[in-house]
Amino acid sequence: MIDIIIHFALGFITSFVGSIPFGSINLAVIRISITENSVAAFRFIIGATIAEFFYSFIAIHFSAFLLAIPKLEFYIRLASIPIFVALGGLYFVSKPKEKPSGFISGSQNNFLQGLTIGFLNPLQIPFWLAYGTYFLSVGWIKENSMLLNIFILGIILGSSVLLLIIAKSASYYREKFSINDDKVNKIIGGIFVLLACYQLISIL
């Protein structure tokens, strides 16, 4: 029982703290919470969480295979640069929407956005590969399928709780203050471009 608690708590705390810095997911949650509402942000979070589950599962269960790939982190960081630039450009030029229209409903659209942006965030692989390998090496987690899955459950819930806090906080400020949606899009678009620059600098 104590092993289950340790694996869950370690995954939860590491994921919660690791999700605090600006990234594609929490920036998108802020934008949706401000320009739409917290319900839309919740649907987005569900989609993003599914993507994170797949990435963390691959990083934890297939760490030996991934570590054998030369310069894996370099190539993932390299691939993230055009992704961040593209997302930044889309947010920067996008205009505030009146109401979702077309053949995809608002709920589906938010969920698919979360799923898409989540899968366009491959930096989760080297992050969990590094922490998973370290935790295994020091004996904090064990090479046991059930316990590793408990660790992954902690990862998913840790990031989800943080994103929900971000969504509620952003919604609070939206209700408390008059925030211009167009300015929000441009600010977040600019941050995405800065993230792309950071990734470029980190691999030079």
Rg (CA), the chain: 18
- pLDDT reported for residue 178: 66
Question: What's the average pLDDT block by block, 10 residues per block, for the chain (204 residues)?
Answer: 93 93 88 87 94 93 83 86 88 65 56 92 88 89 92 96 93 74 81 88 84
Helices (H), the chain: 2-18, 24-35, 38-61, 63-67, 72-93, 106-119, 124-137, 145-176, 181-203
Tokens standing for residue 121: 């965030």
- pLDDT attached to residue 75: 87
Confidence (pLDDT) at 187 = 83
Domain range enclosing 114: 2-203
Give this prediction's pTM.
0.82
Domains contained in the chain, number: 1
